[in-house]
Amino acid sequence: MSESTRRQPLILVLHGPNLNLLGRREPDIYGATTLDEIDQRLSHIAAEHGVELSITQSNYEGALVDQIHRYGWIAAGIIINPGALTHYSIALRDAIAAVPSPAIEIHLSNVAAREPFRHHSVIAAVARGTLTGFGATGYEMALHYLLDTIRQDGKANGD
């Protein structure tokens, strides 16, 4: 379906660097859930609510920026785990700030309880909110928030 003929609301899900290693990478910090399992859960919830997801994982900053540029104008929201880009990617921050879609920042671990360099997020200032430390469930929490927002917007528009 082309972007101009889309009938279902769309939510963009972005996974940053190293998240493709979930389930194997430091499971004591990030858990045993794989990225595929997270994406499957999100897809199932979205399908139950008649919402389409566009899901991308990339280890490259520019690929994530490109997805925000492509979908940030039409998506009902963005769920983003920027990974290490959280702490220094002004390009990612500026892309989120440039588009009207509300972004929810996700971190599997509680970054405030980790190394000091992880305590600052350049993304947080342009995100609607940030969920940290809830593991894979944080993605689902973000999706439910955006689903509630879609439902409220639909009621406000007389749908």
pLDDT of residue 119: 64
Q: Is residue 18 part of a domain?
A: yes
pLDDT of residue 40: 98
In this structure, what are the phi and psi dihedrals at residue 130, rounded to the nearest 5 degrees?
-130, 135
Catalytic positions, written as ranges:
30, 107
pLDDT of residue 12: 98
Q: Is residue 148 part of a domain?
A: yes
Q: Number of structural domains, the chain?
A: 1
- Domain extent at residue 16: 8-156
Q: Is residue 3 part of a domain?
A: no
Q: Which two tokens stand for residue 122?
A: 């350049």
Q: Is residue 29 part of a domain?
A: yes
The domain that holds 86 is classified in CATH as: 3.40.50.9100
Q: Is residue 2 part of a domain?
A: no
Q: Is residue 122 part of a domain?
A: yes
Query: Per-residue pLDDT tens for 102-145?
Result: 999 999 877 765 766 666 789 999 999 999 999 999 999 999 99
Contacts of 36 (CB under 8 A, 6+ apart): none
Contacts of 91 (CB under 8 A, 6+ apart): 61, 62, 65
Beta-bridged to residue 79, according to DSSP, are 13, 104
- Is the pLDDT score of 3 beyond 70? no
Query: Per-residue pLDDT tens for 53-92?
Result: 999 999 999 999 999 999 999 999 999 999 999 988 999 9
Place of tokens 């769309």: 10
Q: Is residue 120 part of a domain?
A: yes
pLDDT band at 29 (very low <50, low <70, confident <90, very high): confident
pLDDT of residue 27: 82
pLDDT of residue 66: 98
Beta-bridged to residue 6, according to DSSP, are none
Residue type, 69: H
Compute and round to an integer the Cα radius of gyration of the chain.
Answer: 15
